[in-house]
Amino acid sequence: MKTVASRETRNLLQYPYLLWISLFIVVPLVLVLWYSFTTPTPTGSYEFSISNYRRFFEPVYLRVMSRSILLAIEATLICLALGYPAAMIMVRLGSKWRNTVLLLLVLPMWINFLLRTYSWMALLGRQGVLNQFLQWMGLPPQYLLYSRGAVLIGMVYNFLPFMILPLYTSLSKIGKEQIEAAEDLGANRFDVFRRVIFPLSLPGILTGTTMVFMPAVSTFVISALLGGGQDMLIGNLIEQQFLSTGDWHFGSALSILMMVIILISMAFVSLTDKGKTFEEGNLW
């Protein structure tokens, strides 16, 4: 009797969650999907059409997408190049210093994303901290803000923790005995890294790459503030369709295409990580 009552209580507790999911996730997704496959008619009604998706394949929009993907790939590779050594150093630290470094890494993420991006405007501006330092050194000021480089810096700064944390998790799960076994078999440090550490850290690399690439390819705040809107990215294009031009149908089609890219990436990572387990332990 008690088991039946507890089961009924658990079922009742699920209803608020299901209601929340339906109102704020399922219904908006259905509306976006409906807008993407419809176009308005002169009579004020809507008709089914795939013209919104065909429009995406026009050269001007393909250039926007290719620019977004290229910039996101560059940001992802830089985050990987910076994040992998940082994660290895964190694993080698003692527990006290490791927790301190983790706190310092996560602490900026508690600050609003918009404020963090605004801070780079103060650093890279014409009268910013970096230019003032250059002038103090007797060097000419540089036009750093409102450039592709500024957008890249903003992406790396905001998304680098999403690369470091998965890498740190994967590296920390590699057992010390695996490293010692490779060394006992005659492997030097480079061989240990190439044949043991790097292969076992691939799940972290894939997860970190996905977690950096997805927000980087769809961002619009960083490119608008640090890039000055000079280079249109796919995120800016979607924002423009909803807030400026009022073309919700084309904007919805772009959003659905971005969601498809995200789902494909998630499926790829899931298939890669499937069946891979690691023993708990320390790398060094």
Question: What's the confidence (pLDDT) of residue 216?
Answer: 92
Name the average pLDDT for the chain.
Answer: 85
Domains of the chain: 62-273 (1.10.3720.10)
Q: What is the pLDDT of residues 128-142, one digit of tens each?
A: 788 888 888 888 877
Question: What's the confidence (pLDDT) of residue 240?
Answer: 92
- pTM summary value: 0.84
151 confidence band (pLDDT: 50, 70, 90): very high
Give the mean pLDDT of 84-93.
92
Q: Which residue has the higher pLDDT, 138 or 79?
A: 79
Whether 276 shows a pLDDT value over 70: the answer reads no
Whether 99 shows a pLDDT value over 50: the answer reads yes
Whether 49 shows a pLDDT value over 60: the answer reads yes
Question: What's the confidence (pLDDT) of residue 280?
Answer: 39
Least confident of 27-31, 33-37, 134-138: 134-138
Least confident of 2-11, 34-43, 56-65, 202-211: 2-11
Residues 6+ apart with CB under 8 A from 18: none
